[in-house]
Amino acid sequence: MATLCIGSGLFHASMTRAGQWLDVAAMYFAMNALVGFALHVRGIAPFVRSLPAFLVLDVLLAIFKWSLPTTPILAVQGAVVFATLGHGARRGPLPWAWALAPTLIFLAGFGVRDLDVRGVGCDPSGWLYQGHAVWHVTSAFFLWGSFVALELLERRGMGGGAEGGYRPSEAT
């Protein structure tokens, strides 16, 4: 998250290509950390063992940032988190509100981001509405809300650590 804050701050303060690279690469890093935590909570990939793979993925996404489409990458990363939150809500350890809120916040921000990228309905110099600013705020709430929900899932027995992950046969 610190990298995301620094990268975004440098980009918006400087409006340089290097700043934009750091801004987007840091966004990938934060999302990958959330995906790694989601896979851990689901019991698919213990975080400590999958960390090297995610670090390599972070480096590759940073290196090839200019040749990769951002929208599908963010969509796939978000889908992994949504699937885990939905699974936790469906199985009972997570209230539906905790699964739906981050998902809906992300989808709303993602939609506004897409409109902003295409130049639809936004005014980059306006003081009231800037699509990119909405994306930043919704992304922050999505990352925070998802992390809190995943942490809640882990505490309520869907954790992937030593317990070996959530087992559907134990659902009540």
Tell me, yes or no, whether 82 lies in a domain. yes
Domain residues for the domain of 125 are: 2-163
Residue 147 lies inside a defined structural domain of this protein: yes
Q: Do 38 and 87 meet the contact criterion of CB atoms below 8 Å apart?
A: no
Note the pLDDT tens digit of each residue in 86-137.
Answer: 998 988 888 899 999 999 999 999 898 888 888 776 666 666 667 777 888 8
pLDDT band at 16 (very low <50, low <70, confident <90, very high): confident
Query: Average of pLDDT values for 63-82?
Result: 89
Confidence of residue 171 (pLDDT cuts 50, 70, 90): very low
For residue 169, tell me if it sits in a domain.
no
In a domain, 120, yes or no: yes
Give the N- to C-terminal CA distance of the chain in Å, as an integer.
Answer: 36
Is the pLDDT at 160 greater than 60? The verdict is no
Q: Classify residue 118: in a domain, yes or no.
A: yes
In a domain? residue 12: yes
The mean predicted confidence, pLDDT, of the chain is: 81
pTM across the whole model: 0.79
Does any domain span residue 34?
Answer: yes
* Residue 168 belongs to some domain of the structure: no
Interval 133-151 mean pLDDT: 90
Instruction: Please give the tally of structural domains in the chain.
Output: 1
